[in-house]
Amino acid sequence: MDFTMGATAGELRGELRRLIAAEVPAGYLGAFTDDPADLAVAQRFCATLAERGLLCLAWPHEYGGRGASIWEQTVVREEMWAQHEPRGAQYMGVNWVGPTIMRHGTPEQQRKHLPPIARGEVIWCQGFSEPEAGSDLASLRTTARRDGDGWSISGQKIWTSYATMAQWCFLLARTSHEGRKQQGLTVFLLPMSDPGITVRPIDAMLGPHHLNEVFFDGVRATEADVLGEVGNGWSVVQEVLAFERVGIARYARCERLLHTAPEVLAEYWDEIPEVLRGRWARMLMRCRRARLLAYQVLSLQNSGTVAPGDAAAYRIAVTRLDQDSAEVLVELAATVPGDTDDRRRFQRAVHDHWRYANAATVASGSIEVQRILLARELLADPARGTAAGRPGRANNAGPVTGQVRS
């Protein structure tokens, strides 16, 4: 459990914090608000990160990165999420769309898609969940049928984040009904500008741009739009979900807000009930525990030995932390006296954290399905355990993904 981030980690954190202070307005709560200026801030900030080689830090040089370590990229993830993700939706392209195209894409697909991601110019959305295929993603019904030398795609996706602003969709569709339901699935890379694609926003407490329905009506795709092998989309998605579930450093925002509470309360901190301060201290301890668990899973991922149960164990821990810390922070924010700018910003940030935390145990796979993944591995071989209690093992992805919202 002794993880070293590297000699340059502290310097990198300092650089990122200075950039955020200079480029991101005080009180910024993310790109996806009612104010279009917030998205504009994210797009400008992404361009700044890209110019400095910080947006895709760990990508290989040939794809627009700096060839940095996974730990340096983790520093970026932590600092971004702690400050309400000023990269906007770019984390999706950086964390898993780009790496998946590197691994499974053709040279032409890599040339087409990776440079715009590395420059922070393109937003992707994820076409996975459907009205009757959320936790059981393999039951999806969106179908790609052979049409001459290409494909005709029809169906519906739901809970698709960023679909109203995305230029491209990472779509999973059924190309065959033979064999098990996990077989016959294929990944397509589709432009959202296609006239056969219709996006309908879903009103929700998370705010604009997060939840949408997406309809595909005879969307035309060619062989050049297929990522990987036809019919092998399930194995690609297994990799995607493992990267997605570990890629967001949720513990970093929890920890920053918890540390901010006594600073904002200042001389009133000692007046907080002892029971509440005790809960606050336990949340900080759980932040550290979630951080160490994330580091262990990242270490396994980096060595190629991560399994679905590893990511599931982390996901369970960090999403529960999100929700439990939000409850403590709401109680603390309610005790903040006075009406200063710092206190108002803290209260708004806590409210924003609470809203997102309510969806944490559903997003990217429900906590119930994460428990199934974890239990399945433990029951298959109890001696192996999980990332929280053993050194590692080979990948043995199971059929349940737990993808509920994208």
Residues with catalytic annotation?
A: 244
Residues with Cβ < 8 Å from 23, sequence gap 6 or more? 41, 44, 45, 48, 86
Which residue has 């999403």 as its token pair?
319
| Spatial CA neighbour of 144 closest among 194, 233, 218, 240 | 218
CA distances (Å), origin 386, targets 2, 302, 311, 364: 17, 16, 9, 20
What is the dihedral sign for C-alpha 241, 224, 163, 135?
Answer: negative
Burial class (CB in 10 A: 0-12, 13-18, 19+), 349: buried
Q: How far apart are CA 44 and CA 184, in angstroms?
A: 40
Tally: H helices and E strands in the chain:
12, 8
Q: Cα Rg for the chain, rounded, in angstroms?
A: 21
**H helices present in 304-364, as ranges:** 308-334, 341-358
Residues with Cβ < 8 Å from 351, sequence gap 6 or more? 330, 333
